[in-house]
Structure 1
């Protein structure tokens, strides 16, 4: 069995007038993330990690932010397409370990639902999707609540 590891990172600005989508679920919040798609930073970081692990460049290469095809697209669709892309090279998702950095909203109670949604999209067990949430202790753009960032590490496998 061949295994590979990938790392992904994404950040989006918080703005009024947008819905907040994280980990494939909509959260009630007075601000949302700005982006061409639904701007789900967690899913975008996971996509980048998967693509990187398979040596397939990045999310912007496959789903460009200047394409009308991806305008306001649900990022779960991008994740499903990413899983199919890596499958085209014979890989499947082994596991995901991700961290979301946000001051608000507090994410702890939403993590189990995010894990279920992401596991379903990636066709893995819930136990194979680890999501952690942290703040930056009011430091930097995240601490000032100007944006949210996410990091993801993935393991992909090929028989």
Structure 2
């Protein structure tokens, strides 16, 4: 059996007039994230972690923000495509551990739903999707509520 890990990071600016999508769910908030797709920073970080673990470059390489095909796309579709991409090299998702950094909205009540949605998209058990939320204690761009960032680590394997 071969086991590999990967790390992902993403950040998007908060703006008025956009929906806030995190972990594949829409969260009511006064602002949303700006991006070519739905700008779901959590899913984008997970995609990068999976692609990195498989040594398949990054989300921007596979789903460029210069392509009309991906404009306003639901990031759950990108995650599903990412899982299919790593499968072409024989890998399956083992587990995900991710952290979202945001001052507001408070995310703890949304985490179980995010875990369920992401587990379904990746075809893994909900126990294999860990999501945590934190603030930056009002420091930096996140603390000033200018944006939201996310970090993710993925474990993938093949040969089971």
TM-score category, normalised to shorter length: over 0.9
Instruction: State the partner residue of 1:3.
Output: 3
User: In 2, Cα distance between the equivalents of 1:73 and 1:56?
Assistant: 21
Corresponding position of 1:115 = 115
Relative to the length of structure 1, the TM-score reads 1.00
- Paired residue for 1:13? 13
Match of 2:27 in 1: 27
Report SS of the residue matched to 2:109.
helix
Unaligned segments of structure 2, at least 5 residues: none
Q: TM-score, normalised by structure 2?
A: 0.99
Structure 1 runs (4+) deviating above 6 angstroms are none
- Structure 1 residue runs of 5 or longer lacking an equivalent are none
Partner of 1:78: 78
Aligned residue pairs total: 159
> Which position in structure 1 is the counterpart of 2:103?
103
- Mapped to 2, the partners of 1:154 and 1:60 lie a distance apart of 18
Q: CA separation in 2, counterparts of 1:111 and 1:78?
A: 20
1: CA distance between counterparts of 2:55 and 2:98? 19
Deviation at 1:120, TM superposition (A): 0.2
Aligned mates of 2:38, 2:45 — CA distance in 1: 13
Alignment match, 1:143? 143
TM-aligned CA deviation for residue 95 of structure 1: 0.1
Backbone CA RMSD of aligned residues: 0.2
